Structure 1
Amino acid sequence: MSHSVSAIVRSGTDTSPQLAFEKWEALVTAAFVPLSVTPADGGANGLPPGQFRAHIADTQFEQFGAAVIGATTQRIARTRRHIARSDQDYLLVSIQRTGRARMEQGGRRADWGPGSLVLIDTSRPFAGAHAAEAESVMLRIPLDRLLASTGLAPADLPMATPIAVRGTLAVVAEFLCGLAELGAEADPAAELLAGHGFELLAGALSLIAGDAGYARNSPALIHEVIAAYVRDHHADPAMTVEEVAHACGLSRRSLYRACEQFGGFGALVRRTRLEHARNLLREPGSRSLATIAGAAGFADERNFYRVFRQEMGMTPSEFRAQSA
């Protein structure tokens, strides 16, 4: 079972900058590992009241943790003294959403912004800083569990090095950021989706380490790559099995086999289009059913009506009226 903690910290009239940073340091330490957090100007007393703001929504799933975390300018550091107080080593994966950050570890220095991620090994000292109004999704995976699952060694992973989030890695990052958001909202779906999260993380990290073999044999990673492509292209009524298989680097047979957990390739496409159509039907306005059918990727309104009634047990018009 997962559990979540959310908090907002601000300095202001009732809270001095020093007290705000102390509260924030305690929250970050509890969510991740023991470390120090200080103002970027080097002293809490030099920060004008009301200028420090920070938020965290942290969810601990069965196999890993995910947090949406953001703050104004700050410095962080983890020393050998902090490490000595820890009973567990983690790999931290920082996916930047807004603002910029920098990190130093083991002689490497990373400076990154949105569209990149960075790996941090908590068993070794590190130091870094976040620019004003920076927000990221921070994932933490027990290092021993990750290494046992993938067969990787810490030296295989490029710590404190900006890594571009694109291709398969972008698919995994989108899934994990969405999972962190669901966890922050205490959405029950987060617990169900988290079952694939660790395997997706392990597959993505294997790709980063240059071990494509693990990723190719990761069912969760293959499933998410297929589902992501279908989500991005389902509005095209001419989308074919061959197109999706080629885009995902699979044979037609492998694609069909991978889609068995969805009930088949056709079922995956149908459900994705229906979800889009339901979202459009919930929106206010008088958009015609023919327009909605086309926008969701159905060949025509008649096909849309038939599939919707078969799957939902009601007509699109009845669903819209019920949603209103």
Structure 2
Amino acid sequence: MPGDSFRFRGGCDEPGASWEDYCRLYARGGEAFQEAGNFRADITAIRLDRVILFDRRLRGLRHERRPEHVVANGFDHFTLQLNLGGSAEVDCGDGFQALAEGEAVLLDTRLPMRLRLVDVHLLTASIARPLVMAAAADSAHGRFISPARTAVLRRRMAEWAEGDPIGLALEGPRLLLIMLDMLRSEGRRQAGADRLRRMMIRRALIRDYVEANLTRRDLDPLEIAQACALSRATLYRLTEPDGGVVNFVRKVRLARLERLLVDGGAEQLADFAERLGFADASHMSRQFRAVTGISPGRYRAASREDPAANAARQRWTAWMAEFR
């Protein structure tokens, strides 16, 4: 699978990870409970720029994100939950309400929520808050989106080769634009879509250039701007959600490090530091620990204890840290 993706499979009627593995996977976001004896989870996930897409088939589960979880993990993004088929319910504070087939709901991770996943195929998108607010300033926690509004997205999903993360990676930016268009208020559609499309293309160019030059410690904002045919002011504006150009570059370095720790074999941490443009291994370890709460060495060791389940959990934890 591509480095920025993972698959998690587990349940009572198929080989794979255990219920305990699933609880550990979800622990970063809240708490999971079994509601029936036939628990099943089949999840394909892929990270794109400021969005993570999850194709999830879930059965016999309840997820709870209580106030203490909101405070503890500090998530600050939205999730869009689209029912592609089956039975699910959502509680945004007023009790459980059915999420009908073809219907979607927008959820704010700053607020408590509950999901009851009876037997459902969900497309879940974790989307950075600035993208959602740019698309629809009036978007609210618990906003339901009708099947008529989600029809275009569902058609695109139906055309996607199921279970193929490379296909999802290629389709991902298009799916994100469709999702954001679903959230727009009337009268903002075309101008907003064009603005978001330009922003996404420019950010992709910046990331591609940084990715191609990670070995260099002297990556300079002026150089990046010139290489991407941007003014410095535009570069700073595009990376403002990440805390500026320096933090953007640091995030790209740490994202590559996370992939190498899971997939990079027995290479020494000092070699990773040199390859990724960190001053030294100690500097790299401090920055990685500040984001994930764990040292690179411990992260790599944990991913090898149970390669499938732990790699998924480690990867998701690192991805979620980028939304903070």
Give the TM-score, by structure 1 length.
0.52
2:164 is the alignment partner of 1:185: yes
Map Cα deviations across residues 109-164 of structure 1 (whole Å, 9 max, x no partner): 43123121111111101112111x322111110123422x3361xxx225335432
- Deviation string, structure 1 residues 177-198 (Cα, Å, up to 9, x no partner): 656x56x4132x5444333343
Instruction: State the AA in 2 paired with 1:58.
Output: A
Q: How far apart, in 1, do the equivalents of 2:56 and 2:112 lie?
A: 21
1:62 and 1:221, CA in 2 relative to 1: closer, same or farther beyond 3 A?
A: closer
Q: Match of 2:106?
A: 119
Distance 2:53 2:15 in 1: 31
Give the conservation status (yes or no) of the 8 Å contact 1:57–1:67.
yes
User: In structure 2, what is the equivalent of residue 143 of structure 1?
Assistant: 129
Contact 1:2 1:62 in 2 (8 A): no
RMSD: 3.2
Any gaps of 5 or more consecutive residues in structure 2?
198-324
CA distance in 2, matches of 1:14, 1:25: 17
2:142 paired with 1:195: no
Aligned to 1:233: none
Give 3-state SS (helix, strand or coil) of 2:187's partner. helix
Question: What amino acid sits opposite 1:74 in the alignment?
Answer: L
Distance in 2 of aligned mates of 1:93 and 1:53? 21
User: Cα 1:177–1:106, aligned 2, differ >3 Å: closer, same or farther?
Assistant: farther
Tell me the distance in 2 between the aligned counterparts of 1:163 and 1:139. Answer: 14
The match for 1:215 among 175, 189, 214 is 189
How big is each residue's C-alpha offset from its partner over 1:209-244, in whole Å with a ceiling of 9 and x where there is no partner? xx122223324999xxxxxxxxxxxxxxxxxxxxxx
**Aligned counterpart, 1:27:** 25
Match of 1:243 in 2: none
Higher relative contact order (CA 8 A, sep 6+): 2
* Percent identical residues: 15
Contact 1:93 1:118 in 2 (8 A): yes
Asked if structure 1 preserves the Cα contact closer than 8 Å seen for 2:89 and 2:98, the reply is yes
Task: Name the amino acid aligned to 2:110.
Answer: S
Change (3 A) 1:14 1:115: closer
Instruction: Return the index of the structure with the highest Cα Rg.
Output: 1
Give, in angstroms, the shift of residue 91 of structure 1: 1.1
What is the identity, as a one-letter code, of the residue corresponding to 1:166?
Answer: A
Q: For 1:97 and 1:146, locate their aligned partners in 2 and report how far apart those are by CA, in whole Å.
A: 21
Are the counterparts in 2 of residues 215 and 221 from structure 1 also a CA contact under 8 Å? no
**Cα distance in 1 between the residues matched to 2:66 and 2:116:** 15
Distance 1:84 1:198 in 2: 28
Describe the shift of the 1:12–1:216 C-alpha distance in structure 2 as closer, same or farther (beyond 3 A): closer
Deviation per CA, 1:226-281, whole angstroms, max 9, x where unpaired? Answer: xxxxxxxxxxxxxxxxxxxxxxxxxxxxxxxxxxxxxxxxxxxxxxxxxxxxxxxx
Question: Are 1:3 and 2:1 matched, yes or no?
Answer: no
**Contact 2:77 2:128 (C-alpha < 8 Å) held by counterparts:** yes
Go from structure 1 to structure 2 and tell me whether the alpha carbon gap of 1:202 and 1:97 turns closer, same or farther (over 3 Å shift).
closer
Q: 1:89 and 2:70 equivalent?
A: no
Unaligned runs of 5+ in 1: 42-46, 223-324
Residue 100 to residue 12, structure 1, CA distance change in 2 (3 Å): closer
Aligned residue pairs total 195
